[in-house]
């Protein structure tokens, strides 16, 4: 029998696993699945990196032992970075040599000079090639600087070079929200080869964060074609995060279609998808496993099934009948529980017991809210923060990064102009402040899209966000003294792409935890933010907690609550607690969000959602409450959801 665990388990705070990948998460047999491509589901994205890098390392060594060259097809973006870091570690610690490896990259923006911060050429050298012993002449990356009248010859030669190398042994892929592999956008045919292609609007919007605005994203790219990719002897596609769940399901369970290039991988016998729990969440065997096989009815799975039935049948939970259970393939659930009334009542009471108003929240306790950016606190948990303030808790809001890359240059110009005017009116040090303004304006005038800001501009952007954060928490009743700005080093690259979480980051978090000894902490648990900062901040807290428990016998592990909000909300079936928010509390929460003026109207990193953050919050909090109402529980104005580890 198949066993399915709740997707929330993937988000539990823990040290990244060092044990082998659990066998039960490997691809099931096709008799119990609708998947047309083998899918390996692992608990965490770090596990994917170790698994795929180990396979690449084995292949490289095998080819070397045979006196042959190993030909790798490589991808770029945030997903494969973990694989590259693990390959670098294997080269350093396990003597994995790349002397006899030849590589071909999937794609490159056009036009794009190779030394640009956006160039995949630069990305590959910074993230892999400069750290291993590969021969430069064995590296092949499409050129984004070739003259347009030479493009046909360039792409033809790229195909010829792959053929001369003997074809690609192992092709690494990511997947875009349109289902593109490489830059094979909707409409790419199965016979397509390396060529120039116009980028889809969704792809360009996804890339907007890296380019500091969609308007700066190139409209074209050079990419290997679908046929070029399918010619590889082995293919591994990597996907992580909730935002990839829908397209993963479409690619592996849907019909082959030119509008989703990844579906052509169904024709390749050597393809495997490697996904984390979040990206696998919509696969039928995980989302609704009772539709394809007999299941073991755990409490979590029972809850999910009954809520699914209620929503699918359009009935409140207590109105579901035995006929409903039979019609929707859930008769085995009734066989375990007895009658429809029995299971209906069980789930109704389970959900009802998760509703926790102010009177059921802690009071007089020490609490830390870890906020990845200087607005995630009020966006995601402004409602409960207000309740915890009223309950007279000792609250510290720890802003883990400066968030300075998410401030527009025009905001900097406005603020330095304000400083000069203030200096003149208040008879402050006008020459010094005017000098700051001139340096800043001169830098911004020469700055190109995506350039790293000067240290001075980065500091100004940091201060802007800090001031907004203080104003935000003051709106919900906290003192400015409650704000702590950790400014973790991993974030201080000045670029969208950050460094890995290191010892210095963990030590800063540990110092705060040791100093305050909190009874309860809140941590961002959403894994779909466009730049990965939430995931990395969560990792820093996880590691800090684990190390403290080992190092300090007097340290007591606090209760950990995971929140979401900026990118999605916890489903009611996964939430440990559902916290009602009144109309006045939601209004106050939105007012606190408004204090983050640099993020209002048009935030630099909005993701695929066109709505402002306050609009997303308003809709999601109301929808959570409305869903409970449709399920037949008490009606509330709005709700926030939390998962307690």
Active site members: 185
Hey, what are 169's tokens?
A: 């042994």
The answer to whether the CB of 531 falls within 8 A of the CB of 496 is: yes
The whole-angstrom separation of Cα 240 and Cα 99 is 31
Instruction: Identify which of 461, 468, 466 has the alpha carbon closest to the alpha carbon of residue 444.
Output: 461
Beta carbons of 624 and 569 less than 8 angstroms apart: yes
Question: CB-based contacts of 29: which residues, under 8 Å, 6+ apart?
Answer: none
Tokens, residue 123: 């990305």
Q: State how far the alpha carbon of 81 is from the alpha carbons of 139, 169, 502, 586, in Å.
A: 17, 20, 16, 39
Q: Which long-range contacts (CB under 8 A, 24 or more apart) does 185-188 make?
A: 185/261, 186/258, 186/259, 186/260, 186/261, 187/258, 187/259, 188/225, 188/226, 188/258, 188/261
Three-class SS of 303-365: HHHHHHHHHHHCCCHHHCCHHHHHHCCCHHHHHHHCCHHHHHHHHHHHHHHCECCHHHCCCCC
Alpha helices, H only, 562-605:
583-594
Distance CA 443, CA 235 (A): 45
- Cα–Cα distance measured from residue 366 to residue 351, given in angstroms and rounded to the nearest whole number: 28
């Amino acid at each position: 029998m198949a066993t399915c665990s709740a997707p929330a388990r993937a988000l539990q705070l823990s040290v990244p696993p060092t044990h082998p990948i659990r066998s039960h998460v490997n691809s099931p047999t096709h008799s119990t699945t609708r998947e047309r491509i083998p899918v390996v589901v692992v608990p965490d994205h770090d596990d994917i990196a170790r698994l795929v890098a180990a396979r690449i390392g084995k292949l490289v060594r095998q080819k070397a032992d045979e006196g042959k060259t190993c030909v790798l097809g490589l991808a770029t973006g945030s997903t494969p970075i973990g694989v590259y870091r693990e390959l670098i570690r294997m080269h350093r610690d396990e003597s994995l040599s790349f002397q006899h490896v030849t590589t071909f990259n999937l794609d490159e923006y056009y036009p794009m000079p190779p030394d640009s911060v956006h160039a995949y050429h630069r990305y590959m050298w910074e993230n892999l090639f400069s750290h291993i012993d590969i021969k430069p002449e064995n590296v092949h990356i499409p050129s984004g600087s070739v003259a347009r009248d030479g493009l046909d010859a360039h792409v033809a030669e790229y195909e010829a070079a792959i053929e001369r190398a003997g074809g690609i042994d192992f092709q690494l892929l990511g997947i875009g929200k349109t289902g593109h592999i490489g830059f094979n956008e909707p409409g790419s045919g199965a016979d397509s080869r390396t060529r120039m292609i116009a980028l889809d609007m969704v792809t360009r919007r996804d890339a907007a964060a890296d380019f500091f605005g969609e308007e700066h994203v190139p409209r074209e790219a050079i990419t290997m074609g679908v046929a070029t990719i399918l010619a590889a002897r082995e293919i591994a596609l990597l996907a992580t995060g909730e935002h990839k769940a829908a397209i993963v399901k479409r690619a592996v369970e849907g019909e082959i279609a030119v509008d989703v290039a990844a579906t052509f991988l169904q024709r390749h016998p050597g393809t495997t998808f490697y996904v984390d729990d979040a990206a696998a969440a919509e696969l039928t065997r995980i989302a609704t496993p009772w539709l394809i096989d007999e299941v073991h009815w755990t409490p979590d799975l029972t809850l999910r099934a009954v809520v699914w039935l209620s929503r699918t049948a359009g009935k409140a939970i207590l109105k579901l009948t035995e006929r409903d259970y039979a019609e929707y393939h859930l008769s085995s659930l009734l066989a375990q529980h007895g009658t429809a009334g029995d299971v209906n009542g069980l789930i109704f009471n389970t959900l009802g017991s998760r509703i926790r108003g102010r009177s059921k929240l802690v009071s007089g306790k020490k609490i830390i809210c870890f906020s990845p950016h200087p607005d995630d606190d009020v966006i995601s948990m402004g409602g409960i923060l207000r309740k915890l303030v009223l309950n007279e808790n000792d609250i510290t809001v720890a802003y883990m990064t400066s968030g300075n890359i998410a401030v527009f240059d025009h905001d900097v110009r406005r603020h330095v102009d304000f400083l000069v005017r203030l200096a003149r009116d208040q008879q402050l040090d006008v020459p010094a402040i005017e000098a700051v303004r001139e340096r800043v304006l001169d830098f911004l005038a020469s700055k190109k899209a995506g350039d790293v800001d000067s240290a001075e501009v980065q500091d100004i952007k940091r201060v802007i966000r800090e001031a907004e954060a203080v104003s935000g928490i003051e709106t919900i009743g906290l003192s400015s003294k409650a704000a702590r700005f950790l400014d973790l080093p991993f974030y201080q690259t000045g670029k969208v792409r950050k460094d890995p979480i290191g010892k210095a980051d963990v030590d800063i978090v540990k110092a705060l935890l040791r100093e305050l000894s909190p009874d309860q902490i809140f941590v961002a648990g959403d894994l779909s933010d466009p730049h990965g900062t939430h995931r990395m901040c969560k990792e820093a807290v996880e590691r800090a907690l684990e190390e403290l428990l080992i190092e300090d016998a007097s340290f007591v592990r606090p209760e950990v609550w995971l929140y979401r909000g900026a990118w999605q909300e916890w489903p009611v079936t996964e939430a440990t607690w559902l916290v009602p928010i009144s109309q006045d509390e939601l209004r106050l929460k939105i007012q606190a969000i408004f204090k983050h003026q640099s993020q209002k109207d048009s935030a630099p990193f909005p993701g695929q959602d066109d709505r402002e953050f306050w609009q997303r919050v308003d809709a999601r909090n109301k929808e959570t409450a409305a869903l409970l109402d449709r399920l037949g529980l008490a009606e509330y104005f709005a709700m926030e959801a939390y998962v307690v580890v």
